[in-house]
Chain A
Amino acid sequence: MRLRVAPGGPAALKVLAAAGAAAAPVRLVWGDPLERPLASLSPPWVPALELDSGTVLFSPNAICQFFFLARGEEPTDLTNQWLEWEATELQPAASAALYAQLVHGKKGQETVEALGQLLDHIEQNLTRRGTAYLAGDTKSVADVVVWGALFPVLQDETSLPSELQALRTWFQSMTLSEACRKAADSVLMPKALLEFKSYLQKHPPPCLATEKATSNEPEEEDGSEHALTEEEITAAVDAWARGVAALPKPWRPQKPVLPVEGMRNVLITSALPYVNNVPHLGNIIGCVLSADTFARYCRLRNWNTLYVCGTDEYGTATETKAMEEGLTPQEICNKYNAIHAEIYRWFDISFDYFGRTTTSHQTTIAQDIFQRLLARGFLLQDTVEQLRCEDCQRFLADRFVEGICPFCNYEEARGDQCDKCGKLINAVELKNPQCKLCRGIPVVKTTQHLFLDLPKLEERLEAWLEQSFATGDWTANARYITRSWIRDGLKPRCITRDLKWGTPVPLDGFRDKVFYVWFDAPIGYLSITANYTDQWERWWKNPQQVELYNFMAKDNVPFHSVIFPSSLLGADDNYTLVNHLIATEYLNYEDGKFSKSRGVGVFGDMAKDTGIPADIWRFYLLYLRPEGQDSAFSWSDLMLKNNSELLNNLGNFINRAGMFVCKFFGGTVPNMVLTLDDKRLLARVTLELRQYHQLLEKVRIRDALRCILSISRHGNQYIQVNEPWKRIKGDEKDRQRAGTVTGVAVNMASMLAVMLQPYMPSVSLAIQEQLRIPPDCFILSHNFTCTLPAGHCVGTVSPLFQKLENDQVEALRKRFGGGQAKQTHPAPATLMAPGDPQLIQELTEKVAKQGNYVRQLKANKAEKAQVDTEVATLLELKKQLLLAEGKSPEVPLFKGKRKK
């Protein structure tokens, strides 16, 4: 085994002494403390023992222990106790004393006095036991370890107070022992001590654990903050001083919104949700919520914006659903379209129009595009081999066939695509096909169909793509998926189907067929706009004036980047084609997928039943928007983000800023006299604001949200450092300072309200009302300007967010399933049977209500007696809830060690 020690390092002393005392066969290596340590955990200047097995011991005491163990000396309770005491009590104090001596040049005597109590402890133990050594009458590992900590500070026994007689005697006999003397001679040479001194000087002084300062301020994540320049500070101060006058007037377009010459005209669509599915959280963040946030941002930038969406209603799935529910397909669509509309209304999605595809405009426009394609020779006719189930008396749509994938032999490949290898499949190519409805074996029948001649359109498509890629903001996944489609080569694609529920094909010989949904559905964007305004062509046949953003999840990319643009290019009617294709990755639920059939996950219609406000959902979904990579919804993370980011950071800042105006300045924004610190803050906030714009212009919605949180963090820090609540009680100068800080803070809150509007519209509105922010300030510029000048009166300020409790979130997790819920609560060993869900829910609500009531009381500084009574009620309710859930009440753990 190899022992590496650094000359001058005090810990080397005990290790060498122990090696000597236990006669351990070590190979000694005098290491240069600055070279790489043996193990990552072993800092320079601390000895390390490399065993023959490769294990490295980095704790000096463990190394000493090992030498004695190797010689057959087992640790006892007493030696353990001394080692633990040395590590936790003596060592920190001895290091501090040594530092004081070497670096601060303190006299030996002073530093020894600082060890007083610890020396007494040794003295008492020696006298009480009446033994020569610490753990008995023979020398043990304990003696070496304690001596090793003391010797560098004491040097010899004469520096010990004479009344510590037993300690003096013990220390002397230790120092005189051969092992210890040799160790001291080799480690503590004068030159080596100087080296150690210079090492210590480069490091912060060791401080005792009890003296450590604790801080509740969040650490700056990025240590290397951009340094502000003089110019930036001056510009920020100028912009601030210009006030509201500098802001452009908010653009309020006439309805219906139409493109305006000379303005930036932004047309936004989100992928049309299929009508007979209730959307889950992943669907919502994937398209409508992302598009909504961006649309709101565009409006705040004074861009002339139209946001349309609607339900995609045609297709086999609707027909089947109608059969199941005994309704007509149209009735099914009416029913589910209303459900969708209601969900999006709850999530506060700001569509200019939410329509549907089963309208007469859809028929007109789809048939027009079809006729133009036909006239220009971009359609082919061919016979198709199609699977027909004779038992069910129908041609089987792709999704009703299952079989073995012809490419990868996956056994449950669908008729249109293999879930395993992702390749698109022609249903007749499936091996061993089965009808999914009756499990019968379908037969292949030949029918005539129409095809879009994609190979003929490929050249035009590529030219357009090249230009759109170069000038637009396509997400990386959208570019990648599109390129791989083109690279694999385009083939003619069938656009007709043997169905009833769809847009009829206006061509003799095909009148009993309808358009295939992938051809038909994207035309819905146009027809939905046509239902909104008869001047729809000013949006959709106007690429010169209009910029088109498509929002979707990544599985929808090829239809929007390859197939639909090919149709429109072929129809050749100056259509507006997508400029920016924004695709998200997938959102998972806890550790798996959302599944309606297994009841796992939160679906759009259930979100409001959780009692969690829509804006909290919006915030959390946008916070973990699968931007660039998949992400997962997690209940505990939701609680954490709500409580840390919204409640403690954002909400806390805005509330304090407003409260200070109310409490200290009678609700009127005070005069502000900016100091250099304030000016730097203005510049810092301006930088964050610019970053926010830069990110949102590239539709990096999730990243831009971080800028908002970052500004409120700066704000909290600013308030914390300047302590307006103290200064308000001081002299004239202090009061003026309190006024300035309050004024700047409330103006930051005012700007945050605007920046937050795309993410949390209701919260933004609440701030607007509380601070009485003038409606004309609801505009986003690139500057942080004073919108609430001195003299502005604010309204009534109240908390914006509520804490989410663990119990509440656990109950929700249970309710909405997920693999972990079962693991989290194994069957309890108590006799209580789990209560009925209704009781649990009742109690959960009561707990939440009572919890909020208690917080309100505390916030309003209610009388202690009253608070105590209500807290007792709350605890009792929580206990009942736990019992109802069949758990034994949990005790909060080891809270004592956490920083407060």
Chain B
Amino acid sequence: GVEELALLAKLLGLPRGIKYGVQGERKVPVLQTNNGPGLTGLMTIAAHLVKQAKKDQLLGITAEEKAVVQQWLEYRVTRVDGGTSKEDTTTILKDLNIHLEDKVYLAGNIFTLADILMYYGLHHVMVDLTVQEKEKYLNVSRWFNHIQHYPGVRQHLSNVIFIKNRLYTNAH
């Protein structure tokens, strides 16, 4: 939502005072721009802010990376934001856990906007996980812990605690 765009703007070092509105039942963020009708949608505005801050590398460098970033941003706004039930959350954590098995970041080896927005989108989920669940989704936990310690990302969000030693080694 709007809150995370403010966090993103701060992370990108953009000047304060960008005004956002919201639209419709889902409270889709809207950015008023000087020219034209403004931009609608979290992904769209976030990508716009990144370009404004001249940090284009956060959108990926090669065509492949750009498409992958796009894909995970879309996953974020459709699946993570669309999911409401515990079941949806479980599916998302499972999906991500598999995807992150052999990757440092969502787009492979580079830190991108997809990591930032996925972190903001999953924060409320991760905060509520039990120690056992965090261990079950070990790759997600590793990635999440990495991102929350990335300079400037977490800001005032609470630090989610991950226990370093494994406790549930017999769990399947």
CB pair B156–A41 under 8 Å, yes or no, is no
Contacts of A41 on B, CB cut-off 8 Å? 95, 98-99
**Assembled-state Cα–Cα distance A18/B67 (Å):** 14
Contact of B25 among A59, A210, A637, A640 (CB under 8 A): A210
Chain A 870-900: CB-based contact to B (< 8 A → 1; otherwise 0): 0000000000000000001011011111110
Q: Which residues from B are CB-within-8-Å of A61?
A: 70-71, 74
> Is A198 in the interface zone, CB < 8 Å from B?
no
Contacts of A588 in B (CB 8 A): 165, 167
Contact yes or no, B164 A77, CB < 8 A? no
Residues of B close to A69: CB separation below 8 A: 63, 66-67
**Set A81, A210, A212, A637: member contacting B40, Cβ < 8 A:** A81
How far in angstroms is the closest Cβ of chain A from B37? 8
Is there an interface contact between A87 and B71, defined as CB atoms closer than 8 Å? no
Tell which of A57, A80, A92 touches B44, judged by Cβ atoms closer than 8 Å.
A80
- How many residue pairs link A and B with beta carbons under 8 A? The number is 148
- Tell me which of A57, A66, A637, A888 contacts B131 (CB under 8 A): A637
Residue interface bits A31-55, CB-to-B below 8 A is 1, else 0: 0000000001100000000010101
B residues in contact with A65, CB < 8 Å: 66-67, 70
Does B82 sit at the interface, judged by CB under 8 A?
Answer: yes
Contact (Cβ within 8 A) B77 A88: yes
Q: Would you give the 0/1 interface string for B90-115, flagging 1 where the beta carbon is closer than 8 Å to chain A?
A: 00000100110000000010000000
Q: A84-B44, A634-B161, A894-B120 are in contact. Are A629 and B78 (CB under 8 A)?
A: no
Chain B contacts for A92, CB-based, 8 A: 82
Could you say which residues of chain A place their CB within 8 Å of the CB of B169? Answer: 629
Task: Collect the chain B residues with CB atoms within 8 Å of residue A40's CB.
Answer: 95, 98-99
Does A113 sit within 8 A of B, measured CB to CB?
no
Quick check: is B172 within 8 A (CB to CB) of the other chain? Answer: no
On chain B, the residues within 8 Å of A70 by CB distance are 63
Residue A312 CB within 8 A of the other chain:
no
B84 on the A face (CB < 8 A): yes
By the criterion CB–CB under 8 Å, are A87 and B74 in contact? yes
Tell me whether A824 and B67 are in contact (CB under 8 A): no
Q: Does A85 contact B (CB under 8 A)?
A: yes
Contact B68 A62 (CB under 8 A): yes
Q: In the complex, what residue of chain A is closest to B96 when comparing beta carbons? A: A41
Query: Are B63 and A66 neighbours in the complex by a CB distance under 8 Å?
Result: yes
Cα distance, A725 to B39, chains bound together (Å): 49
Judge whether A852 is part of the interface by a CB distance below 8 angstroms. no
The CA-CA distance from A536 to B18 in the complex, in Å, is: 82
B49-72 interface code vs A (CB 8 A; 1 in, 0 out): 000000000000001101110110
A130 and B81 alpha carbons, distance in the complex (Å): 33
Q: Which residue of B lies closest to A217 (CB)?
A: B86
Q: A63-B67, A896-B1, A897-B81 are in contact. Are A590 and B163 (CB under 8 A)?
A: yes
Task: Check: B42 CB closer than 8 A to any chain A CB.
Answer: yes
A591 to B71, CA, bound (A): 36
Nearest CB of A to B44, in Å: 4
CB nearest neighbor in A for B154: A826
B161 & A81 in contact (Cβ 8 Å cutoff): no
Chain A positions 710-744 with a Cβ under 8 Å from a chain B Cβ = none
The chain A residue with its CB closest to the CB of B63 is: A69
Q: A629-B167, A894-B4, A896-B27 are in contact. Are A51 and B131 (CB under 8 A)?
A: no
The verdict on A62 contacting B42 (CB below 8 Å), with A69-B63, A88-B77, A629-B170 known, is no
- A820 touches B (CB below 8 Å): yes
Across the interface, name the chain A residue whose C-beta is closest to B69.
Answer: A62
Q: State whether the Cβ of A648 lies closer than 8 Å to any Cβ in chain B.
A: no
Chain A, residue nearest B88 (CB): A212
Contacts of B43 in A (CB 8 A): 80, 83-84
- Nearest residue (CB) in B for A628 is B170
Cα A174 to Cα B39 in complex, Å, equals: 25
Closest B residue to A125 by CB, please name it. B37
A-chain residues with CB within 8 Å of residue B161 when the two chains form the complex: 634, 636, 820, 824
A894 closest partner in B (C-beta): B124
Q: In the complex, what distance in Å separates the CA atom of A57 from the CA atom of B42?
A: 21
Cα of A80 to Cα of B113 in the assembled complex, Å: 14
Q: Is there contact, CB below 8 Å, between B77 and A84?
A: yes
- Inside 8 A of A75's CB, which chain B residues have their CB? 47, 66, 70
Contacts of B82 in A (CB 8 A): 88, 92, 209
| Among A81, A84, A823, residue most surrounded by chain B Cβ atoms (within 10 Å) | A84
Q: Which residue of A lies closest to B43 (CB)?
A: A84
Chain A residue numbers with a CB within 8 Å of B130 are 637, 640
- A632 near B74 with CB under 8 A, answer no
Contact B167 A890 (CB under 8 A): no
Give which listed residue, A214, A591, A628, A897, contacts B164 with CB less than 8 A. Answer: A591
Nearest A residue to B89, CB-CB: A899
B77 and A87 within 8 A (CB): yes
Distance from A118 Cβ to chain B, minimum over Cβ atoms (Å):
12
Q: Is B26 an interface residue (CB 8 A)?
A: yes
Q: Which chain A residue has the least Cβ–Cβ distance from B25?
A: A210
Nearest chain A CB to B76 CB, angstrom units = 10
- A265 shortest CB reach to chain B, Å: 35
Q: How far is the CB of B9 from chain A (nearest CB, A)?
A: 16
Identity of the chain B residue whose Cβ is nearest the Cβ of A208 in the assembled complex:
B82
Asked if A474 lies at the interface with its beta carbon under 8 angstroms from chain B, I say no
Contact of A209 among B4, B26, B170 (CB under 8 A): B26
Alpha-carbon distance A628/B167, docked complex (angstroms): 11
Residue of B nearest to A49 (CB): B67
B11 interfacial by beta-carbon distance below 8 Å: no
Contacts of B123 in A (CB 8 A): 893-894
Q: When A88-B77, A632-B163, A824-B159 are in contact, do A899 and B84 touch as well, CB less than 8 Å?
A: yes
Q: A59-B75, A65-B66 are in contact. Are A893 and B40 (CB under 8 A)?
A: no
Complex Cα distance A628/B169, Å? 10
Any chain B CB within 8 A of the CB of A58? Answer: yes
Contact between A632 and B84 (Cβ–Cβ < 8 Å)? no
Contacts of B81 in A (CB 8 A): 88, 209, 897
A820 CA to B167 CA in the complex, in Å?
A: 17
A145 CB → nearest B CB, Å: 11
Flag whether A544 is at the interface (Cβ < 8 A): no
* A-contact bits for B140-164, CB 8 A (1 contact / 0 none): 0000000000000000111101011
Chain B residue contacts of A632, Cβ below 8 A: 131, 163, 165, 167
B132, closest chain A residue (CB): A637
Interfacial chain A residues near B26, Cβ < 8 Å: 88, 209-210
Residue A609 interfacial (CB < 8 Å): no
* Docked complex Cα distance between A632 and B81 (Å): 33
Q: A85-B40, A634-B163 are in contact. Are A214 and B170 (CB under 8 A)?
A: no
Residue of A nearest to B168 (CB): A629
Within 8 A of B (CB), among A317-375: none
Is B47 in contact with A77, judged by CB distance below 8 angstroms?
yes
In the bound complex, CA of A765 to CA of B68 (Å): 59
Residue from B1, B67, B99, B121 having most chain A Cβ neighbours under 10 A: B67
Please tell me if A229 contacts chain B, counting CB pairs below 8 Å. Answer: no
Set B128, B159, B163: member contacting A591, Cβ < 8 A: B163
B74 close to A894 (CB less than 8 A): no
Write the chain B residue with the least CB distance to A635.
B161
Does B10 count as interface, using CB distance less than 8 angstroms? Answer: no
Q: Is A219 positioned at the interface, with any CB of B under 8 Å from its CB?
A: yes
In the complex, A637→B157 CA distance in Å? Answer: 19
Chain B: minimal CB distance from A140 (Å): 14
User: Is the CB–CB distance between A80 and B47 below 8 Å?
Assistant: yes
Quick check: is A631 within 8 A (CB to CB) of the other chain?
A: yes
User: What distance in Å separates the Cβ of B27 from its nearest Cβ neighbour in chain A?
Assistant: 7
12 A/B residue pairs, CB under 8 Å, sorted by A: A55-B68, A61-B71, A62-B68, A66-B64, A77-B48, A80-B43, A84-B42, A85-B41, A209-B82, A637-B131, A893-B124, A895-B124
10 smallest A-B Cβ distances: which pairs?
Answer: A62-B71, A66-B67, A69-B63, A84-B41, A59-B71, A81-B44, A209-B82, A80-B44, A84-B43, A62-B70
For the complex with contacts A91-B78, A893-B3, 20 further pairs of A-B residues with Cβ separation under 8 Å are: A55-B108, A61-B74, A75-B70, A80-B41, A83-B43, A83-B74, A84-B77, A88-B26, A88-B28, A88-B78, A92-B82, A588-B165, A590-B163, A632-B167, A634-B163, A640-B130, A824-B161, A894-B4, A894-B123, A896-B1
